[in-house]
């Protein structure tokens, strides 16, 4: 199993900035980003998320999002994709950084999930 990270934000700058940070933390990890809507405005785009899923070299993906509708678009993109996507309702930056650090260190998925539980701050709707 090869696990990568996808970050989804309402602006391209936020998504790309976090992805760069994660790649610095975990240089061997496949990290992709999707940000902004289809017209480069504030929002999210299922098509951009699908592109980020496909561009990620991993076979399984941990998805982190900033807030709100980003989660729904991740769910929709995952439903049409071929990779297993696990969505985390963790604090966006802290959750993604913790996951990247632990993946880089070779920690098992179960241990990573346990660590992320402490950062779950978003209510599922």
- Report the CATH number that the domain containing residue 66 is assigned in CATH: 3.40.50.510
Q: Which residues have CB under 8 Å from 12's CB, separation 6+?
A: 33, 35, 36, 40
Sign of CA pseudo-dihedral 30, 53, 34, 108? negative
The number of domains in the chain is 1
Q: Is residue 125 part of a domain?
A: no
CA 31 – CA 67 distance, rounded (Å): 19
Known catalytic residues are: 10
- Domain limits for position 63: 3-117
Q: Give residue 67's pLDDT.
A: 92
Q: What is the pLDDT of residues 6-27, one digit of tens each?
A: 999 999 999 999 999 999 999 9
CA 31 – CA 39 distance, rounded (Å): 23
Q: Tokens 């900035």 identify what position?
A: 17
Q: Is residue 43 part of a domain?
A: yes
Q: Is residue 11 part of a domain?
A: yes
Q: Is residue 113 part of a domain?
A: yes
Q: What is the pLDDT of residues 40-86, one digit of tens each?
A: 999 999 999 999 999 999 999 999 999 988 999 999 999 999 999 99
């Amino acid at each position: 199993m090869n696990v990568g990270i996808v970050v989804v934000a309402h602006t391209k700058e936020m998504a790309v900035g976090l992805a760069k940070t994660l790649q610095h933390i975990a240089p061997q990890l496949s990290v992709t980003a999707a940000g902004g809507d289809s017209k480069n405005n504030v929002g999210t785009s299922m098509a951009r998320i699908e592109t980020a899923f496909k561009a990620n070299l991993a076979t399984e993906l941990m998805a982190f999002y900033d807030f709100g509708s980003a989660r729904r678009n991740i769910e929709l993109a995952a439903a049409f994709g071929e990779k297993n996507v696990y969505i985390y309702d963790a604090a966006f930056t802290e959750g993604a950084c913790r996951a990247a650090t632990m993946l880089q260190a070779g920690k098992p998925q179960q241990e990573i999930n346990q660590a992320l539980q402490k950062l779950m701050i978003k209510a599922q709707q």
